[in-house]
């Protein structure tokens, strides 16, 4: 059965149940998997997953096919969208809406964009997320591959070069999309992605693999200055 079809049914069902108040679970606090980074830099986790990212609040968008996603990311939604290194708390204007960049640290190997958007009281379906992180390498690394999974479609850049495109309605599978061999520079390297969700859950995971497909951990991830003041979730 079509996954988006199932996801839509599941979402609809959840809303009905919540509205009816049949389950006490509806009153529980939503799970939290994203926190504010507490240190200037962080190494990837034991499996090499990069857990620290800057995420822009979601932009309404639709279409998961190759052409639709490429058209979407090829259109300038905010200035310098393929080159900007944002800071936590920066704002951009997208189609008249002010959207904020947020530094997050995931408690899991994957970054749950559904949790992120929900915490911002933003749409979770038919949206586009921009995410950025900085990987610092103590030396040049050759024959490295960026390895990602995403729900749903996504396009990835490393140091400005597009390296992965995943299209269609799909779930986050570790090592789903893997780039061709690339070189990680000594010093900072920018990994950027645009992730498009259709309906329901949305998340991604990313790590770097060495020439033998082993996770790379001798790097650090930093996002520059991170504002530590907790802000209230946006009210619609």
Q: Which residues is 141 bridged to in the sheet?
A: 184
Which pair of structure tokens corresponds to residue 206? 């990313």
Distance of CA 28 to the CA centre of its chain: 25
CB of 181 to another protein, least distance (A): 6
Using CA atoms, how far apart are residues 58 and 69, in angstroms rounded to an integer?
Answer: 15
What residues numbered 38-67 form the site for another protein, per CB under 8 A?
A: 65-67
Q: Binding marks (x or -) toward another protein, 94..133, rule CB under 8 A? A: ----------------------------------------
Looking only at residues 207 through 236 of this chain, which bind another protein when binding is defined by CB under 8 A? 213
Contact code string over 133-152 relative to another protein, x by CB under 8 A: ------------x-x-----
Among residues 32, 23, 40, the alpha carbon closest in space to that of 116 is found at 32
| Residue 48: CB minimum distance to another protein, A | 14
Q: How far is the CB of 61 from another protein (least distance, A)?
A: 17
Q: How many CA atoms lie within 13 A of 68 on its CB side?
A: 17
Tokens of 8: 């839509």
Q: Shortest distance, CB of residue 115 to another protein, whole angstroms?
A: 24
User: What torsion, rounded to 10 degrees, do the Cα atoms 148, 71, 133, 55 define?
Assistant: -100
What 8-state DSSP symbol labels residue 49?
B
| Residue 94 or 158 with smaller CB distance to another protein | 158
Query: What x-and-dash track marks residues 149-178 binding another protein by CB under 8 A?
Result: ---------------xxxxx----x-xxxx
Task: State in angstroms the smallest separation of the CB of 133 from another protein.
Answer: 19
Please state whether 70 falls in left (phi above 0), alpha (psi between -120 and 50) or beta.
Answer: alpha
Q: Which residues bind another protein (CB under 8 A)?
A: 65-67, 145, 147, 164-168, 173, 175-181, 213
């Amino acid at each position: 059965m079509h996954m988006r079809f199932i996801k839509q049914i599941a979402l609809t069902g959840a809303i009905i149940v919540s509205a009816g108040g049949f389950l006490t679970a509806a009153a529980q606090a939503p799970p939290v998997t994203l926190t504010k980074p507490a240190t200037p830099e962080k190494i990837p986790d034991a499996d090499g997953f990069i857990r620290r990212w800057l995420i822009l609040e979601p932009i309404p968008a639709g279409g998961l096919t190759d052409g639709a996603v490429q058209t979407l990311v090829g259109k300038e939604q905010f200035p310098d969208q393929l080159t900007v290194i944002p800071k936590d708390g920066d704002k951009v204007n997208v189609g008249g809406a002010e959207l904020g960049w947020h530094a997050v640290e995931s408690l899991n190997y994957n970054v749950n964009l559904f949790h992120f958007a929900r915490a911002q009281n933003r749409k979770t379906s038919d949206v586009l997320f921009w995410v950025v992180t900085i990987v610092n390498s103590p030396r040049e690394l050759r024959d490295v591959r960026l390895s990602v999974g995403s729900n749903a479609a996504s396009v990835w850049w490393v140091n400005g070069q597009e390296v992965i495109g995943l299209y269609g309605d799909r779930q986050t599978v570790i090592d789903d999309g893997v780039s061709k061999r690339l070189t990680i520079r000594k010093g900072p390297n920018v990994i950027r992605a645009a992730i498009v969700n259709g309906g329901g859950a949305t998340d991604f995971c990313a790590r770097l693999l060495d020439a033998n497909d082993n996770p790379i951990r001798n790097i650090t991830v930093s996002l520059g200055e991170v504002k530590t003041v907790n802000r209230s979730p946006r009210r619609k």
